Structure 1
């Protein structure tokens, strides 16, 4: 059973502070204790065994209060999903209990200066040195990189792209905190540098050549799914805040909600939120059924939900006016976060091309 009541209650009162100072260590520890970090992993490895719909609803619940906290659920879950799907029995036994309990926080280290949307262009190398590999390269925008104990690193070797688990405390790993820019201010982002970091070959997840297409591909698919549901929750929270403000705010002696333009904005927002929710539920159903459609349904859900989060949060800021621009405004914070959601785990433009190709395959 997932016990996120304390986390949600804390986020409702403290998320604005976390946005300024970063998600605190005690909340990250509580995420592990509550079961959040092992939500959909097997109970055999200490997880809670949630199915896709249950995981999605959990991501939406957390997404309604704090995007950075939901991002912890996402990035940690991405690494756990990849290890669970592609790791050997020994790797799963060694790592999954640590990940599901929160004993070790995990982060995905894939993005580089020359490899963002096109991850096949990574320059990080895995140099063969006897039975070991020497990892060298620089990874950017690593979510929760400041606190992660292990990184799932994407790089290249003579056998093709590969992925490996690299512990933070190995000699040659350097973590540099970075400012997060537009949104996700609480997500403890970092630049992580690897300088000939020695790891045993046993820490490669899947053979060389499978690092992006299989290992990181699984991580990104899992990430899109929880981002989608988190965005649906974010959009719903913004709609609720805008409606509450419109119903209670008066101008010239009349409620703001009395203006047709305000009611129209709320109506459009409601359709956006419900549409995103429906797409997320469709993706969950496909994943539960093991359908080949699950991959494209997840891409579509993330696309629709991120778009809804961006448009509904923008309208909510407009409805709230100065209150929406205040430093501790939830809709203002979500407006900034929503822009990031349209970029991570596959930019909107890339998703459009992928979905268009899917449509053409169905027409031919």
Structure 2
């Protein structure tokens, strides 16, 4: 009877997959308050010693402590700097700046810090002042070059007002119209001012600049004079113009040549003659009848060869004309080299010109 019982089918539950929720990535927050300090200065491992800074008393010569930095040895600050004379056999020595030590140690490190680490650090028991740098021996005397003392020129200046000579009376008349100031005090009457010397500073202003500074009274320009030991001239003087000052020509010494007697010059041989066969150059304006008709020669017009073949020239204009006559051997030899065998009977070379033949 138990086998005859029907059993209902069991439904299996299908596991449901949960949907993943996609979330946007978090934006990176930029920390703007971070202050980056430069890395500490680490001395090379070869230098394994440190001494606090001392200075010598000028009167007694004794050392006086001037160290203000915070000194930290293996993570522990030195409590009494007056009893600390330095260490050696250190593994590393790190020097921190004022900003870096202030951020790390607070107010104690406001003047900077020195961090010393090592397993077998040894301490100095007395003050050790830094040794003076080695003094190099003076150079040998033969290497010393002595120069003459510099020439100091007298930079004192002189100023004369403009003046001219009256041809009738022979007197010097002051014609100065500019506004003159001496140590910031204006000259009252230019006709009674004859000049001044020992000037330390002399400056001239154009009318446009002078009017801006001193008004319409300086419409002709201004002269500003300054000096501590000024001396005035008591009478009018005609000062020479700069372009009228003439200096003597420089003295040029001839070269010293020891010649007992002048060298003999051999006379030219009897058959020697001056060559007159060079080409004849005529520069414009050029007349046609200077050359006439070329029966057998050629014309080179602006580097172009023309054979006239007995034709007469009607119009000729040129900047320059070079004529190689056929009766001059030297000229013909040069013409053949330049223009070829056709030039053996003469050449008329025309440069930058125009040529017209008769019909």
Give 1 or 2: higher strand fraction: 2
Q: Is the shorter-chain TM-score for this pair beyond 0.5, marking a shared fold? A: no
Superposition TM-score, scaled by structure 1 size: 0.17
Higher relative contact order (CA 8 A, sep 6+): 1
Give 1 or 2: higher helix fraction: 1
Q: Which structure would you say has the larger Rg?
A: 2
Superposition TM-score, scaled by structure 2 size: 0.17
